[in-house]
């Protein structure tokens, strides 16, 4: 029988990441979520201002579905938080694009998964949980 012993330096040295790293990652997630929520609210306000009251504001047809298969016709991204839909040509797009089709119809609907107030409540809850952590 032969036994091989690992030489010094062969084994990987692994520091314990500890709870501090977990807390930092959660803090970063809350900061990122804060940015997303605030950007979404600003985008919605811009859309409402551009269409100057000639836009319908509706809740998602099924807000509990993870993805409603609503894909932006411009950037091909899923439109999780909100999307615009032209009532003439049925084009759908991210609210960030504001103009989603070539028909320039004033008949546009902004669909929102959550209200601005609900998103701010989610953010507030996440910040409270983060503050309660050691």
Would you give per-residue pLDDT tens digits along the chain (134 residues)? 444 455 555 555 555 555 555 556 677 888 888 999 999 999 999 888 888 767 788 887 776 666 667 788 888 888 888 888 888 888 888 888 878 888 866 788 888 888 899 999 999 998 888 888 76
**pLDDT score recorded for residue 54:** 74
The DSSP annotation for 25-57 comes to HHHHHHHHHHHHHHHHHHHHHHHHHHHTT-EEE
Q: What is the pLDDT of residue 40?
A: 92
Burial degree of 80 (CB within 10 A; 0-12, 13-18, 19+): middle
Per-residue confidence (pLDDT) for residue 1, from 0 to 100:
44
pLDDT at 121: 93
pTM metric for this prediction: 0.71
Of 3, 1, 25, the C-alpha closest to 133 is 25
């Amino acid at each position: 029988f032969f036994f091989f012993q690992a030489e010094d330096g062969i084994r990987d040295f692994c520091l314990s990441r500890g709870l501090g790293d977990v807390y930092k990652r959660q803090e970063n997630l809350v900061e990122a979520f804060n940015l997303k929520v605030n950007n979404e609210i600003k985008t919605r306000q811009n859309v409402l201002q551009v269409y100057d009251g000639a836009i319908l504001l509706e809740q998602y047809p099924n807000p509990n579905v993870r993805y409603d298969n609503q894909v932006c016709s411009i950037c091909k991204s899923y439109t999780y938080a909100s999307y615009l839909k032209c009532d003439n040509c049925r084009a759908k797009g991210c609210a960030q694009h504001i103009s989603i089709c070539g028909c320039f119809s004033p008949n546009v609907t902004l669909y929102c998964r959550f209200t601005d107030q609900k998103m701010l409540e989610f953010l507030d809850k996440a910040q409270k949980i983060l503050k309660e952590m050691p």
